[in-house]
Chain A
Amino acid sequence: MTVGGMVSDADIGDLPDAITAVRRWADRRPSAEALIWVADPEEQRDERLTFAELDLRARAVAAWLQQRMPVGSRVLLLNSPVRFVVGFLGCLYAGMVAVPAPLPGRYQHEQRRVRTIASDAQVSAVLTETAQLGVVREFAANGPLAAVEVLATDSIPDSDATAWRLPGVNRNSLALLQYTSGSTGDPKGVMVTHGNLLHNSASLLKGLQIPASIRFGGWAPQYHDMGLMAQVLPALFGGSTCVLMDPTTFLKRPVAWLRMIDRYDIGWSPAPNFAYDYCVERTTDEQMRGLDLSRWRYAANGSEPVRVETMRKFAETFAEAGFSATACCPCYGLAEATVFVSGAPPRALSVTRFDAAELVEHRARPAHGAAAARELPSNGAATTYDLRIVDPATRDVLEPGQIGEIWLRGPSVAEGYWRQPGATAAVFGAVTSQGDGAYLRTGDLGTVHDGELYVTGRLKEVVIMRGRNLYPQDVEHELRSQHKELGAVGAVFSLPASDGAADDVLVAVHEVRNPRDQAGLARLAADMRRTLSQEFGVGASGVILVRRGGVRRTTSGKTERTAMAELVRSGQLAAEFVDVDPRYQDVVSVRTASDAPSRRPERV
């Protein structure tokens, strides 16, 4: 079917299972390139796999699994960040449930997390690649994986593929458990079915009007929902090519990502917001020469809050390399809805200036005149979902223009959390006050304005002071814009007051450029208090200034406000300067850096 010169991909959503979605291309275009792994984009040093080769390898892995365990068994994938595909397809082809996880690094908490995932999912085998086999064997030797077989998928002979048998799976069969970030002790495995994968890829391709000829690619790790489900699978299900690069290559030299997009003709490449800032910050004029980004149609920005300034700055900087501002593509999504929820086809960046005072009152009204405003990007329309904006306390469905929690229903919404009936009922089984359900509670706050979705913050992170909603991102942004002495990252959050008072206690932690100037820091802290009071009408119980790197972020650059709150509460944060309201000394217990032990660098 052809719509407006583009092949419609609606048919993906109607296929019987994800195996068929890939195998049909091995059948129709066996010699077309399915995957390209790029080591060096400049010299075009890479490794390629056609659909026929990929299908053969997946069948060989699947046959190995089928000989050892019943259909539906869980299989842990421990690969380097962009090497998951063969093992993942092997699981699908065998009717097993893939459990992608990051390679356990050297930090204890990373290793603990992977072990917790392995025992929660009750895995029957571990798949990896030869290059990581030693590390994975050593890791698996103790704990829940001690009795489990480990296989390097690239070591199986292709001839084993003949033993593969099509498993009895359908759209309702589980395809993977996507473990959400959660806390180390309590990871939750989102149960994603074959039907979810098919519907979500079809939604992405159709909703954003992605031409069938477009190539996908990027460096997003495939143990994250974005790297696998918003990058690899739409390419493979749609019969296109996915071009991959290790995230370390990107972090070392972000221009390597941009060169890959140019040299390999990639039209769709997704990344979290920080990656776009990082490119602007780290790309030299010399590197810019000869770079052609004019064929990059979709610079998808997702998986963390999208900043208007970031997208504008990126478009402005790389206009010189032919980048079109219409390629800036803010998307909303989450693992509990497979990955993709909403976005818009290429167009000028759609931004609304909302009245800041109204936002505080849970209303989204465009700002007029000189009123203080907050610019938010539109995330397009969620065309393949029933979307409701709901008051999280009363569960009343709210009118357009009001702000509430984003609730979703539709074929991309996953089945629930693996072996967690309580959490599943609470998150996936929400019912409105009018008795309408079941919806997925996203935990994100937002509004629908002119038919499009705007995300205003995370429900859990919103600071409620005297019944008003304060968004930490807003407060941090305002502090930075008024105080040039502040560094790039801050974390604003609330702590419960110890005496059981109704109101929480507001704390602002922020990085500073010049941590040595104690007199200057004291003045700065006092000025920040004044800003909080003038702009937001709140008094801070604590203003804490830290060195660069002192505010925790995830590897994808998200500020970890909850973790920072915990550090402050437990007295573990090392600060350069601390200004605490004497009334709250017991709640905000923070040391200055001189007493702190030195810290090793955080690993990615």
Chain B
Amino acid sequence: MPNRMHVAPNLSAELLTPWILAQAASLLQLEPERLRADRPLSDFGLDSVRGIALIGDLEELIGRDLDPDLLWDHPAVNDLVAVLTGAHNGEAAGG
């Protein structure tokens, strides 16, 4: 069974990006170095079920509910992080 990482809920891109990449890599059973933050995670084989699992992991990290469609609208990690850190102005991530 996996051991979930616990990181303080500090929503900076410097922390979030490697955390999401590591979590996605673990869901895909790949080395994190194989993933890229500027390409859709589906390019690396992330399917719908595991996409929602990743959203679930993110919810636990940041302590609030997220829209399960978040990865549909923001398929690359950079894009996702921009929304979560509020860099996308006015875009609601809550669900």
Asked whether, in the complex, the Cβ of A553 is within 8 Å of the Cβ of B47, the reply is yes
Given contacts A284-B1, A286-B4, contact A550 B45 (CB under 8 A): yes
Q: Mark B61-86, 1 if CB is under 8 A from A, else 0.
A: 00000001101100100000000000
With a cutoff of 8 Å between Cβ atoms, the chain B residues found around residue A513 in the complex are 29-30
Are B59 and A252 touching (Cβ within 8 A)? yes
Instruction: From the candidates B2, B47, B52, B72, name the one contacting A106 in the complex (CB within 8 A).
Output: B72
A283 to B72, CA, bound (A): 25
* Inter-chain contacts of B60 with A (CB < 8 A): 253
B-chain residues with CB within 8 Å of residue A278 when the two chains form the complex: 49
Among B2, B3, B72, point to the contact of A601 (Cβ < 8 A).
B72
Question: Do A547 and B69 touch (CB < 8 A)?
Answer: no
The proximity string for B residues 40-67 relative to A, scoring 1 for CB distances below 8 Å and 0 otherwise, is 1111111111111101100110000000
Q: Which residues of A contact B4 (CB under 8 A)?
A: 284, 286
In the bound assembly, the distance between CA atoms of A454 and B75 in angstroms comes to: 42
> A264 to nearest B CB, angstroms?
20
CB distance from A178 to the nearest CB of B (A): 23
Residue numbers in B under 8 Å from A557 (CB-CB): 49
CB pair A600–B1 under 8 Å, yes or no, is: no
| Contacts A251-B52, A251-B53, A284-B2 given; does A603 touch B72 at CB 8 Å | yes
A284-B2, A601-B51 in contact; A511/B45 too (CB < 8 A)?
Answer: yes
CA of A106 to CA of B43, assembled, Å: 19
Say how far A46's CB is from chain B's closest CB, in angstroms. Answer: 16
Tally the A-B contacts, defined by beta carbons under 8 Å: 91
Q: Are A598 and B68 in contact (CB under 8 A)?
A: no
Inter-chain contacts of B68 with A (CB < 8 A): 248, 251-252, 604
Asked if A600 and B72 make an inter-chain contact with CB atoms under 8 angstroms apart, the answer reads yes
Contact with B along A532-570 (1 / 0, CB 8 A): 000000000000000111100101010000000000000
Q: Are B42 and A252 in contact (CB under 8 A)?
A: no
Q: Is A68 an interface residue (CB 8 A)?
A: no
- Contact status B34-A516, CB under 8 Å: yes
Instruction: Please state if B56 and A549 are interface contacts (CB–CB under 8 Å).
Output: no
Which listed residue, B3, B41, B52, touches A248 by the CB 8 Å rule?
A: B52
> If A248-B52, A248-B68, A284-B4 touch, does A602 touch B43 (CB 8 Å cutoff)?
no
Q: A253 to B48: give the CA distance in the assembly, Å.
A: 14
B50: A residues at CB distance < 8 A = 549
A interface secondary structure, majority: loop
- A253 vs B4: C-alpha distance when bound (angstroms): 12
A548 near B49 with CB under 8 A, answer: no
A286: chain B residues within 8 A (beta carbon): 4
Asked whether any CB of chain A lies closer than 8 Å to the CB of B13, the reply is: no
Q: Which residue of A lies closest to B40 (CB)?
A: A598
- A602 touches which one: B29, B39, B47 (CB < 8 A)? B47
Closest residue of B by beta carbon distance from A317: B1
Q: Does B28 contact A (CB under 8 A)?
A: yes
Whether A599 is near chain B, meaning CB under 8 Å from some CB there, is yes
Is B1 within 8 A of A549, CB to CB? no
A258 and B40 alpha carbons, distance in the complex (Å): 32
Assess whether A282 is interfacial by the CB under 8 Å rule: yes
Say yes or no for A499: interface residue by CB 8 A criterion.
no
Bitwise, B1-20 to A at CB < 8 A (1) or not (0) is: 11110000000000000000
| A599/B43 contact (C-beta < 8 A), A252-B68, A283-B1, A548-B28 known | yes
CB of A285 closer than 8 Å to a CB of B:
yes
Partner of A549, one of B39, B47, B59: B47
Within the assembled complex, what's the spacing in Å between the Cα atoms of A548 and B47? 8
A601 CB contacts on chain B under 8 angstroms = 40-42, 46-48, 51, 71-72, 75
Interface of chain A residues 95 through 132 with chain B (CB within 8 A) = 106
Cα distance A579–B51 in the bound complex, in angstroms: 30
Out of B1, B29, B44, B56, name the residue touching A253 (CB < 8 Å).
B56
| Cβ-defined contact, A252 with B53, below 8 A | yes
B42 touches A600 (CB 8 A): yes
- A98 to B13 Cα, complex, angstroms: 49
CB <8 Å contact, B56 and A547? no
- Whether A285 and B34, one on each chain, are in contact in the complex, defined by CB atoms closer than 8 angstroms, is no
Bound-state CA distance A252–B68 (Å) is 8
- Alpha-carbon distance A280/B42, docked complex (angstroms): 23
Alpha-carbon separation in the docked complex, A288 to B3 (Å): 12
Task: Give Cα A549–Cα B28 distance, bound, in whole angstroms.
Answer: 9
Query: Given A516-B34, A598-B39, are A604 and B1 also a contact pair (CB < 8 Å)?
Result: no
How many angstroms from the CA of A511 to the CA of B55 in the assembled complex?
A: 23
CA–CA, A311 and B36, complex, Å = 36
Question: In chain B, what residue has the closest Cβ to A547?
Answer: B45
Which chain A residues lie closer than 8 Å to B69 at the CB level?
A: 106, 603
Residue of A nearest to B43 (CB): A598
The answer to whether B53 and A599 touch across the interface, beta carbons within 8 angstroms, is no
Give the chain B neighbours of A603 by CB distance below 8 A.
48, 69, 72
Can you name the residue of chain B whose Cβ is closest to the Cβ of A516? B34
Q: Which residue of B43, B44, B49 is within 8 Å of A251 (Cβ)?
A: B49
Within 8 A of B (CB), among A372-394: none
Contact B42 A599 (CB under 8 A): yes
- Contacting pair A598 B42 (CB below 8 A): yes
Measured CA separation A603–B75 after assembly (Å): 12
Report the nearest A residue to B50, measured CB to CB: A549
- 24 A-B pairs with CB atoms under 8 Å apart are A248-B52, A248-B68, A251-B52, A251-B68, A252-B52, A252-B59, A280-B1, A281-B2, A513-B30, A548-B28, A548-B46, A549-B45, A550-B45, A553-B47, A555-B48, A557-B49, A598-B42, A599-B43, A601-B51, A601-B72, A602-B47, A602-B48, A603-B69, A603-B72
Q: When A and B form their complex, which 9 residue pairs have the shortest distance between CB atoms, in order from nearest?
A: A252-B56, A548-B45, A549-B45, A251-B52, A547-B45, A601-B42, A602-B48, A549-B47, A604-B48
Interface residues of B (CB under 8 A from A): 1-4, 28-30, 34, 39-53, 55-56, 59-60, 68-69, 71-72, 75
Can you add 9 more A-B contacts, CB < 8 Å, to A513-B30, A547-B44?
A: A248-B68, A251-B49, A252-B53, A278-B49, A514-B30, A548-B45, A601-B72, A604-B48, A604-B68
